Amino acid sequence: MRRQGNNNEQAHGLHLMSLHKAKGLEFDLVIMTGLTEGRFPYYESGEQTRVQIEAERRLFYVGITRAKKRLILLTKPSEHDQNKLDTASFPEVQKESTMSRFTLESQPILCQKVLSNEALEVEDIAQINRYIDHAQLEVSAPTQLKIVNTMLKPGEKVKHEQFGDGTVVRQEASGNKMIFIEFEEVGLNVLIQNTQD
């Protein structure tokens, strides 16, 4: 039903639609609801096949990319899920997870902090760098990272602001937690992991 009047009056309102109907449209504000496992992605009993999950993941992508200015993912995370989001961890989906795997994969808190250049508290710096590269996020200034209870593993690729790209040789588990990194341009360097505020 359309209301008669000028175009200005018709521009305001709330549009409720499925993700299928939203394809090709854009809105200043998008609010996505129903983001719990079993509902989105949808499955009644057992797990969906990989192909079905990928199709629903594409639908989630359609939803989040409809927002021009602001996106709200409306869900109530469990304490366990909230911790995963706060520390930007990327675990496999577990049965006790109440939040949709797609919300966990999209890491909304991480994205918000990266885009606003806020300091991040992370468990795995290499994983964050891979995520930022994969998501093609453009960061105007270096993001400060606070590493939380993490150990870099030999062979992990890292990027240092001053020394550039490198590969972790080893890291001490105690004391100063010194990290031995072989940098492509400057060779082997020993760095001390800063885990203080």
Q: Over the stretch 102-113, which tens digit does the pLDDT of each residue have? A: 888 887 877 777
Provide the CA 89 distance to its chain's centre, in angstroms. 9
> Does position 2 have pLDDT exceeding 50, yes or no?
no
* Average pLDDT value for residue range 59-73: 91
How confident is the model over 134-177, as pLDDT tens digits? Answer: 666 565 545 555 555 567 778 888 888 788 888 989 887 766 67
31 in helix, strand or coil? strand
- CA dist 126 and 139 (Å) reads 16
Torsion sign (Cα): 186, 191, 193, 197: negative
**Residue whose structure tokens are 């719990």:** 36
Q: What is the CATH number of domain 1-76?
A: 3.40.50.300
Residues 143, 119 contacting (CB under 8 angstroms): yes
SS3 assignment, position 160 = strand
**Both tokens assigned to 102:** 């797609």
12-26 average pLDDT score: 88
* Interatomic CA distance for residues 106 and 77, integer angstroms: 14
pLDDT band at 28 (very low <50, low <70, confident <90, very high): very high
Whether 195 shows a pLDDT value over 60: the answer reads no
